[in-house]
Amino acid sequence: MNEIKFIGSPLRMQALQKLKVFLGNPGKFCLIVLGSRGSGKHFAIETAYSEIFQNADKDLCLEDLKFIEPNDLPVEADALNELFKEWEHKTLVIEDVEELTDEQQKLLFKALSTTDGTFGIGKSINLRIVFTSSKSADALRTDKDLILGLFWDRISQLIVELPSYKKDDENILQDFYSTWNKMSFEKTKGYKHLSGTPKNPTLERFLEENAKKFEGGFRDLDKIACLYFNYRILHYGSQKKIIDEIEKKVVKSVTDDFFSKSQMQGSSDNDESVYQFQVGLTHQELLGRYKMQLRRWAVKEYGGLGIAEKKLGFKPGSMKNYVETKVTTKHKANEAKPKQK
């Protein structure tokens, strides 16, 4: 089966290069790989590992690579030591770090407390630990919201963040074609004639215009490819030759289905998405603060003020005036002064 390749996108290539260096860091410091759901964290780690494995020193703990989910991680010291011993001289990747329980985090905190590059509770076991998360660094480092602050300090010596399509969508078509090839539709018995890569301008326009909405990243491309192939089977019937008229029907079916049914609804990790009112401010001050937060939210959500204005229907330059109204001295004094009974 063909794999999706890290090609074309400068941001993705930069992240991969950084990952290769950090994954083989000589101090064996903990590494955390961040990226939204479907951004390719698992594949990126496998790719980086495979590229440095051949020239890796045994002492760098790169003999093998194992992925483990929080539910499969031991919750007792002896069992954790046994797991570490089993993977001595190797690299252990703990996925979805935000799903670890407080007890697991405290146990790992003890196990990762080291001064000589070895781990274990009361043991000295030589291995490398990598973590992954679909949450942002800001969300993770907020004490007790997702993980304990002391645990974040322990595991966040090195951080690599993979770009999502919200930040890096220039390679969307190439990624889709790689995804299509990965599916190996030509191996589906009886349907090889429908396995050719779609070269449809309407589909390409759909991908380019909606790339930033693909919350699932490569997983969304997987779904679109599967939808396209199966709608070809439906619409072509006994027709063996690819023709534009039927391809238009296929594209329409795919685009109609994807956003209305197939795409998973994701919650935004934009921490500016909730506005909290504060008692004691005038409506002008509340409105000023709201506008400033709207500006911050829009820039984070869309990647820039200009594109945010366009997406939200503002006139160019309008949101530049969205600055926070300062709280007056009178209000500050009133907030600080205790009420008289």
- Profile the chain (341 residues) by mean pLDDT over runs of 10 residues: 51 89 89 86 90 75 91 91 93 93 92 78 89 89 80 93 79 87 91 93 91 78 92 93 94 86 47 66 81 81 78 84 53 43 42
Q: Tell me, what's the pLDDT at 331?
A: 42
Is the pTM higher than 0.75? The answer reads no
Interatomic CA distance for residues 137 and 139, integer angstroms: 5
Q: Tell me, what's the pLDDT at 4?
A: 44
Interatomic CA distance for residues 154 and 112, integer angstroms: 7
What percentage of the chain's residues is helix, strand, coil (to nearest 5)? 50, 5, 40
Q: Tell me, what's the pLDDT at 123?
A: 87
Q: Return the sign of the alpha-carbon dihedral for residues 297, 298, 300, 302.
A: positive
Distances in Å between the alpha carbon of 130 and those of 18, 93, 100, 227, 230? 14, 5, 14, 34, 38
Nearest to 36 by CA among 130, 149, 154, 169: 169
